[in-house]
A = this chain, B = another copy of it.
Amino acid sequence: MRGATVTSESPKVEFWFEFGSNYSYLSVMRIEQAAQQRAVQIIWKPFLLGPIFRALGMQNSPFVLQKKKGAYVWRDMERQCRKYRLRWRQPSTFPRVGVLPSRIALIGAEQPWIGAFCRRVMKLNFVLDLDINQPDHLAPILTQLGLSTGDILDQAQAEPAKKRLREQTEQARCKGIFGAPTFFVGSEMFWGNDRLDDALLFASEQI
């Protein structure tokens, strides 16, 4: 199944995600194809969950703080990945810090390579079990995408990129986001990979 061509007039869904978040992994891997099928544009919105959780009084992911829920989540992820035919390895470090790839994703948010970049970073974390905050792990991804690796890494480590990510995370907080992934269609919020299809359907019916 393929949808109509996506144009700048197509309905939009904002996709708020975090590279350390396991349920964001599911949505990052699925969203481009699913949005294409409904002719919906994706507005990529990388942000950091850490400051959001701290603003809510939590010092870590609820999957770490709540041990029973945490244990459940890893089993759920195995089953969900089987359902969506995605590879899966439980990360040996959780949640991984994704500051550097988030800054790169902000630089590339409107570029044609954004989807492929995000999927490869997610694979680093949730398939290859590697540190996603290391320039040495991100450089090959940028190079494989045919990009100016050195320039992008320099930009991502400069003050304007740091500021953009802080601002984007603050915007997430102001919008009422409390977890990831979160989708917005206008002011309508949808939380969790389980609502990705509902969000796309809602967007496609807004025309």
Cβ of A176 under 8 Å from chain B: yes
Write out the residue numbers on chain B whose beta carbons fall within 8 Å of the beta carbon of A192: 194
A:154-170 near B, CB below 8 Å: none
**Chain A interface bracket (under 10, 10 to 19, 20 to 34, 35 or more):** 20 to 34
Contact A66 B75 (CB under 8 A): no
Where the two chains meet, the residues of A that have a C-beta atom closer than 8 Å to any C-beta of B are: 56, 66, 68-69, 71-72, 75-76, 79, 83, 176-179, 188-192, 194-195, 198, 202
What are some 20 contacts across the A-B interface (CB < 8 A)?
A: A56-B66, A56-B68, A66-B178, A68-B176, A68-B178, A69-B178, A69-B179, A71-B176, A72-B176, A72-B178, A72-B189, A72-B191, A75-B189, A76-B190, A76-B191, A79-B198, A79-B202, A83-B198, A192-B194, A194-B194
| A178 cross-chain contacts in B, Cβ below 8 A | 66, 68-69, 72
Q: How many chain copies?
A: 2
State in angstroms the CA–CA spacing of A108 and B69 once bound together: 30
Chain B residues, Cβ within 8 Å of A79: 198, 202
Q: Which residue of chain B is the closest to A52 with respect to CB atoms? A: B68
Nearest CB of B to A76, in Å: 7
Query: Which residues of chain B are near A76, meaning CB under 8 Å?
Result: 190-191, 195
Complexed CA–CA distance, A130 and B68 (Å):
33
Within the complex, the shortest CB–CB distance from A154 to chain B, in Å, comes to 37
Q: Which residue on chain B has the smallest CB distance to residue A194? A: B194
CA distance A178 to B67 in the complex (A): 10
Whose C-beta in chain B lies nearest to the C-beta of A191?
B72
CB distance from A168 to the nearest CB of B (A): 18
> With the chains together, A189 CA to B186 CA distance in Å?
35
A188 (CB) vs chain B CBs: closest residue: B75
Q: Which residue of B lies closest to A193 (CB)?
A: B194
Q: Please give, as numbers and ranges, the residues of chain B lying within 8 Å of A75 by CB-CB distance.
A: 188-189
